[in-house]
Structure 1
């Protein structure tokens, strides 16, 4: 135990030195400032591993000389899950701290607010996590790029499995804000197109973080569905699973669930993990590709813990920022935008690129089913769905994005 403690302290010290290197005398003025915003107090289950991920990447980047032979200095702010606070933080990071670009955000409505700020201030914004299609389509702009696969992309991945189910009567449950509404809309649209024989017989829209699971379960059951589409996550998901299991909602019914296979949300369920659900997630324990194994080893050395999906998102977001600046050869916004369009980035999931047409990355997601092993939920029968296979052709994007 003493050896482990010493090793963990030594690794942590290396990261601290790499993160603080830009603050040493004679170097602070040369640092490239990156503004980072996220909902650390609002959803720590995802955002704290996310922070671990970008800090690990930042340490690696600065240990190799940073970008443009200058260290990167990330100044981070907590938006509390509130769009107004996020915009205030963004303004402070740009005006007071001298950030050359912004990255981060989790909730879709927060990401949309920061995206609009970036457009008004003509500043590059790498949205790491927000999933709303509007971020790159209906409300997309030339200053905003998005890393994670969108709701339409993940809905398409799930629909590829859901259309194989015999169920015809469907209901949905999702949080009543931008992400939930977009998730249900995207999944329904794809399912109706692929299976016109389906009927949507009910829907429930609990407020985010305030789900009243008992009455919700009863209302869904009264519709006598054969299958359920779920987009709740975090504490809402836990309550939905437990109440649904207790009241028999899931018995002999298929459930297709967005995000539920991510360790952030699956692990807290323990032995209550809903066996058989079709989910998107992150089976970190079973991915054997060299790129992922290298990331896994580095993350474990740094934190003596296993990564969550947020860890990968944070890590890749930071690597993407460095790659954009290096390719641009400058921190000028226009040059960085030109560099970001079409840029290729190596990730623990394999190479990805950011499309020039809509600034969406081709990062994919893992799709599989939930099973129990040693008293906790895992993903089985999974596959990696390449994001590029679930994006509309560039020509079709023109009709989706506003003219600029």
Structure 2
């Protein structure tokens, strides 16, 4: 029988989902190559991992529908890591030793990501990060098998700082407060934000800091401490379900009326909050939101995502899609699935992403030179998407916010 393009995609999705069955005349006769994803798909940060997995699935399905990669069909294997480094390492090692995966895709938690980098180096398997973004993944944990297509915890807070420093000068902000999760991502993000403010000429009177544990359910004590200091500006490093909980409790306490605020209100949080998301709050995104892109590729991706998963694609899905594109282009350039050849092919390469445009994988650290997007939450909830979208969007180029290669090489040697 002859399959339509829709039929090919359905068959490809069946394989991605783990069915691995033969459909059509010799559909999988060329063989199958496994890739692995160990990530968090439950709990407060689970939606980030699940939507990232969804994007990875769609990218693999497209490759399979178009004939595969070097004549091979790709099969995605996935496992829950519960945001624990030891579990992520075990999952990644099992993928490599038992399932013979040719690539790993990184998790949500940067602590897990840095731990999995060791597995990639030990067993010589390329790993691609598209959610977890701690600078140490391409720093202290770096090997030639590590690739990161998401802005790092150096890049993102420096982009935020460049935006906030300008806003602060215009609006006369003097006193600042930070609240961020108590682990590597949260602390590095705050540290780099403050360094970025200084680099952008801002005078910061830091009147307090709070470090709630990841997955906290009660932020009342932290909110009370913030309110007591009456800061002009509050930097919030919480994200995912934690940010949803923080927002609801902060709104009830009147925090958003008492101070100007930055927080990363990404799709999952916006969907959960709906009209409760605070209009006018400064936000950011690690990839251009789907509703800002007029490209046919993005329209097609958005339609497929909505049809299969019943929601609109968060940036995590877009980033996951581009991680697969990066690996696939490395394989094609190398003409092989061999990890050393793929790593060599990708180092310094320009990647052409259907959803994100072209970006370069920097040779010194394999960090993608990608932008960060800044803006404010819209006054009104978008009727079609059911969320506050990001208005007055400013694209901060990766070239302006990346750690220098000299600094990164020093970090890799530390």
Same fold (TM over 0.5): yes
Aligned residues: 394
Moved more, 89-98 or 278-287: 278-287
Give the Cα separation in 2 of the matches to 1:278 and 1:388. Answer: 22
Residues 295 and 13 from structure 1, CA distance in 2 versus in 1: closer, same or farther, beyond 3 angstroms? closer
Give the Cα separation in 2 of the matches to 1:263 and 1:162. Answer: 22
Moved more, 104-113 or 311-320: 311-320
Pairwise CA distance, 1:82 = 1.1
Q: How does 1:150-189 map to 2 (within 5 A)?
A: 150-164=152-166, 165=168, 166-189=172-195
**Are the equivalent residues in 2 in contact too, given 1:271–1:372 (CA < 8 A)?**
no
Residue 212 of structure 1: which of 205, 208, 218 is its match? 218
Give the Cα separation in 2 of the matches to 1:21 and 1:344. Answer: 34
Residues 285 and 26 from structure 1, CA distance in 2 versus in 1: closer, same or farther, beyond 3 angstroms? closer
**Are the equivalent residues in 2 in contact too, given 1:352–1:362 (CA < 8 A)?**
yes
Unmatched 5+ stretches in structure 1: 1-8
Q: Per the alignment, in what secondary structure is the counterpart of residue 371 of structure 1? A: strand
Q: Does 1:351 align with 2:362?
A: no
- What is the aligned partner in structure 1 of residue 408 from structure 2? 397
Residue 396 of structure 2: which of 385, 388, 403 is its match? 385
Give the Cα separation in 2 of the matches to 1:245 and 1:26. Answer: 54
Q: Per the alignment, in what secondary structure is the counterpart of residue 305 of structure 1? A: coil
Pairwise CA distance, 1:130 = 0.8
Pairwise CA distance, 1:303 = 4.2
- What is the aligned partner in structure 2 of residue 41 from structure 1? 42
Q: How does 1:4-403 map to 2 (within 5 A)?
A: 13-17=10-14, 19=16, 23-24=21-22, 27=28, 30-42=31-43, 43-164=45-166, 165=168, 166-195=172-201, 197-257=203-263, 259-260=264-265, 262-281=266-285, 283-303=289-309, 305-347=311-353, 348-374=355-381, 376-402=387-413
**Are the equivalent residues in 1 in contact too, given 2:96–2:123 (CA < 8 A)?**
no
Pairwise CA distance, 1:219 = 0.8
**Are the equivalent residues in 1 in contact too, given 2:176–2:234 (CA < 8 A)?**
yes
Residues 267 and 119 from structure 1, CA distance in 2 versus in 1: closer, same or farther, beyond 3 angstroms? same
Pairwise CA distance, 1:196 = 5.0
Residues 22 and 239 from structure 1, CA distance in 2 versus in 1: closer, same or farther, beyond 3 angstroms? closer
- What is the aligned partner in structure 1 of residue 3 from structure 2? none
Q: What's the TM-score once normalised by structure 2's chain length?
A: 0.88
Pairwise CA distance, 1:370 = 0.8
Pairwise CA distance, 1:16 = 3.2
Give the Cα separation in 2 of the matches to 1:372 and 1:312. Answer: 25
Unmatched 5+ stretches in structure 2: 1-5
**Are the equivalent residues in 2 in contact too, given 1:67–1:322 (CA < 8 A)?**
yes
Pairwise CA distance, 1:18 = 5.3
Deviation digits for residues 221-276 of structure 1 (CA, Å, limit 9, x no counterpart): 2222111000101222122212222222222421122x21x211122111111122
**Are the equivalent residues in 2 in contact too, given 1:363–1:386 (CA < 8 A)?**
yes
**Are the equivalent residues in 1 in contact too, given 2:174–2:204 (CA < 8 A)?**
yes
Q: What's the TM-score once normalised by structure 1's chain length?
A: 0.90
Superposed CA RMSD = 2.4
Give the Cα separation in 1 of the matches to 2:175 and 2:406. Answer: 35
